[in-house]
Structure 1
């Protein structure tokens, strides 16, 4: 009696019948399919041994069932995407779920690089500086009025430049005569002391600290020779080319105040009318 050649599972003879080997054991087609064949995700039927079994993430399909869930085109040997366990061709996925480029308004295809900022998306090649048109990529940039600028272009087009050193003012700064200055560049014309945060005055459009202005330009009292500070509304008496503090405008002889009274002059001195007649 010859050696038997039976199905490993049901023990029926395989002589003259189709069989399938698995782990060195032969199975009849029926047993193999019931034990090992997968169920198609689309039609829910068994994927028989004589059919091609296409799989993706532990899911299986007949070749004819492996298609886009939206437009039903075949996905065999084509790029596809998955959404909520449904397979979609790249066109349907793009139309349904992909971002649109903020600049060119075209779909950003799955898998392609994109840039995102404040809820908007761009193709990498569309995310460019408004001024120089170069891709920004991972470089720093500054947004302005729905446009983006690389740092050098933003500084050239929008940043303030110091009236003294001509360099960009990045933070702070001082405005004088409607012109911007770095704090460290806004100096007294006389002593070069920084004037930011200090009281100052000007002459011929040049800024001066109070000390320098007083020493250079302020009027000096003809009596005490001290500066008559014009800042703060100080009152003084002026006659011809000489000036006096109100408190210093007194008769040279009797020291009576001459403010609001008549007076006489003799050389550099002033006298009340009485003392003047005797002088």
Structure 2
């Protein structure tokens, strides 16, 4: 059955003198339109009929009276709002609930304002300032201390040490030797120039040496095993006249018993316990 040009497209009722709604250039009576095409409110789940304002946002619909902040229930019609986890929030509630707090002034950093982040904390741009000159640091390089954050020029002026080797400022990774500061990369063996920052080392005449260089150049040799004697890590050694021994090497030349803390006898280059040395012509 065809409809007259001004009949409801759905129920064919004449629309002359009646309220109607056009959809896709086709007229519908209000009842048919609401039944066939109306949206449903996200808040109350009721139908948003043609005589009600339908507020639309990101595929969802609300009655005008239902378009409110989910926290304070304030109407959001023609007001700024944000969504979080599909909840509608006014700017104030969003700021109180979701926005970061400034590490310096403890006030909310409002949405849309610029914030600075460093080591998991947040600041207003105007609160993130150098502790010395009080100028905003922004995205410029900074150096942190327990007393606060400093721009590089102020840190160098107030706190920086200068490397004893290259004479340049030390901003991190300082090593102290002879009560003087060094860059890690400048603290080198005086013999082979190897970095010593994570190595054991010895000093001679106030110069640092790696163990290999020190042993080769300066270490005394054990009279028994001929290996270097360094005294590192509390290692003990024995000295007698112009000879030295590792404590574990200071043994009787005949029976190998340890002579540490014991009396001993010598003959030429040999050392003996008293028992083995009895009857032997000795040097002492």
> Considering the TM-score relative to the shorter chain, is it more than 0.5?
yes
Deviation for aligned residue 1:67: 0.9
Describe the shift of the 1:69–1:5 C-alpha distance in structure 2 as closer, same or farther (beyond 3 A).
same
Cα offsets for 1:178-232 (capped at 9, x unmatched): 444679799xxxxxxxxx9873369xxxxxxxxxxxxxxxxxxxxxxxxxxxxxx
Structure 1 distance, partners of 2:47, 2:83, is: 23
> Partner residue of 1:229?
none
Give ranges in structure 2 of 5+ residues lacking alignment.
189-195, 197-201, 208-241, 243-284
Q: Does 1:45 align with 2:46?
A: yes
Describe the shift of the 1:132–1:16 C-alpha distance in structure 2 as closer, same or farther (beyond 3 A).
same
TM normalised by structure 1 equals 0.60
Structure 1 distance, partners of 2:126, 2:186, is: 41
Structure 2 distance, partners of 1:184, 1:43, is: 72
Cα offsets for 1:126-175 (capped at 9, x unmatched): 12221222222222222211622222222222210257986413455664
TM normalised by structure 2 equals 0.59
Structure 2 distance, partners of 1:172, 1:102, is: 29
Describe the shift of the 1:48–1:184 C-alpha distance in structure 2 as closer, same or farther (beyond 3 A).
closer
Deviation for aligned residue 1:99: 1.3
Structure 2 distance, partners of 1:146, 1:52, is: 58
Q: Does 1:129 align with 2:130?
A: yes
Deviation for aligned residue 1:62: 1.4
Give ranges in structure 1 of 5+ residues lacking alignment.
187-195, 203-234, 236-279
Structure 2 distance, partners of 1:133, 1:78, is: 37
> Partner residue of 1:21?
22
> Partner residue of 1:85?
86
Contact 2:142–2:151 (CA under 8 A) maintained in structure 1: yes
- For 1:253-268, what aligned pairs fall within 5 Å after superposition? none
Deviation for aligned residue 1:119: 2.3
> Partner residue of 1:150?
151
Structure 1 distance, partners of 2:150, 2:142, is: 5
Deviation for aligned residue 1:4: 5.2
Structure 2 distance, partners of 1:38, 1:128, is: 52
Describe the shift of the 1:199–1:81 C-alpha distance in structure 2 as closer, same or farther (beyond 3 A).
same
Contact 1:4–1:13 (CA under 8 A) maintained in structure 2: no
Deviation for aligned residue 1:118: 2.4
> Partner residue of 2:61?
60
> Partner residue of 2:31?
30
RMSD of aligned residue pairs (Cα, Å): 3.5
Structure 2 distance, partners of 1:73, 1:125, is: 31
Provide the aligned length of Structure 1 versus Structure 2: 199
